[in-house]
Amino acid sequence: MKKTYSILLLGLLSMLFAEIFSGASQLWFFSAWGWIVGFPLYLMHTVFLLYLALRTKKVTISQLYLFGMIFGLYEALITKVLWVGYFNEAGPTWGTFLGLAVAEFPVLVFFWHPIFSFILPILTYEILTQTSVIQHHNTLSKTRKKNIIIGLGLVSVSAFIVNGNQYDILSANGAFIGSVFLVWLVFLLLKKEPNKISEIIMMKVLPFVIGLIVLYGVTFAFLLPERIPQTATPYLSILAFYVIAILLLIKTKKSELIEESISSKHYGKRNLMFGILCIIVFVNILIWIPAVNDAIVFVFYLVYLGVGTLLFVMNVFKILVNKKTKQIDSTVI
């Protein structure tokens, strides 16, 4: 059961960071859709792609970023957002180019899913286990610059939570606190000793492969079928980015899977608790000032669009140009 709970913990962390922090899901744990589609989607993607990263020994932050890009491409075949925009919109915010939504694609594929759906859940899991692969130690080390970035991130996700829950104070607090409670509950069931991240490679991956195939097949055909493109260009564009991410991963070097305990110089459980409290405070302040909250959402959406594009370009440049580098430096992100 310990391995099962560890996998559940990873999935819940991905759901929290990806869906709750974006405001895309509200009280998902009270809905059949949340448990049948939403949660399995994040759990299976996170565990399967992490399994591949560990198996191929490509675990640096930059390499996880590329796996996270592959994660983000689900938004085409499953939700069709990368082609026709968000569910609550009439179409792509800024139109399309080569069949891809100009704004939605870089935000989701270059930023949100690589960072929030994949990298941050993995790093948080490592903080909870107090053990991480050595390639992540630099990222987990505390610095003033990171504290500022984290602080801005906490404000932004609080604004997204408020906006996504349509300024409903009960829904906003319930969505966040309820999701955090589920993470805490599973962590308790593990007796506070979840498997180390490297132990994921000892699991049987076939059920996840089958699950993802079924998920993609069913949702592509039956979830908003009217959004399915009728021309070849949108499909070819998505396929091109799958190929780009895979080729870049192939070009990067393997690294030894060595895990070490994180120390007081790294972010720890107390920092996670402080972050949770900050989000609760920010949510309950911003919910009363809609104009300010809307401005924060707008500004940070543009910031994430720009940062995501920059991260992608930096990773491509580092891999293709800096050929003499022995190891992809985790400080890229």
End-to-end CA distance of the chain: 34
Tell me the mean pLDDT in the region 288-311: 97
**Cβ(61)–Cβ(35) under 8 Å?**
no
Tell me the mean pLDDT in the region 196-205: 88
SS3 content of the chain, % helix, strand, coil (to 5): 70, 5, 25
Distances 311 to 136, 214, 328 between C-alpha atoms, Å: 17, 32, 14
Question: Which amino acid does the sequence have at 185?
Answer: L
Checking phi first, is residue 98 left (phi over 0); if not, alpha (psi -120 to 50) or beta? left
The pLDDT score that the predictor gives to residue 329 is 44
Question: Facing residues of 100 across strands?
Answer: 97
**How far is it, in rounded angstroms, from Cα 221 to Cα 180?**
33
Distances 282 to 148, 228, 328 between C-alpha atoms, Å: 16, 38, 36
- Residue 323 — very low, low, confident or very high, per pLDDT cuts 50/70/90? low
Residue ranges in 16-136 assigned as alpha helix (H): 32-33, 39-55, 61-72, 74-77, 81-84, 104-105, 120-129
**How far is it, in rounded angstroms, from Cα 163 to Cα 179?**
17
Q: Please determine, for residue 292, whether its predicted confidence score (pLDDT) is greater than 70.
A: yes
**How far is it, in rounded angstroms, from Cα 280 to Cα 136?**
28
**How far is it, in rounded angstroms, from Cα 105 to Cα 260?**
36
Contacts of 87 (CB under 8 A, 6+ apart): 79, 81, 224
Buried b (16+ CB within 10 A) or exposed e, 169-181: eebbbbbbebbbe
Q: Where are the domains of the chain?
A: 2-332
Q: Please determine, for residue 327, whether its predicted confidence score (pLDDT) is greater than 80.
A: no
- 249-280 pLDDT per residue, tens: 999 999 888 999 999 999 999 999 999 999 99
**How far is it, in rounded angstroms, from Cα 50 to Cα 201?**
8
- 112-147 pLDDT per residue, tens: 999 999 999 999 999 999 999 999 999 999 999 999
DSSP, res 37: I
Which tokens is 77 given?
Answer: 């075949």
Tell me the mean pLDDT in the region 81-106: 94
The pLDDT score that the predictor gives to residue 88 is 81
Position of tokens 């399995």? 40
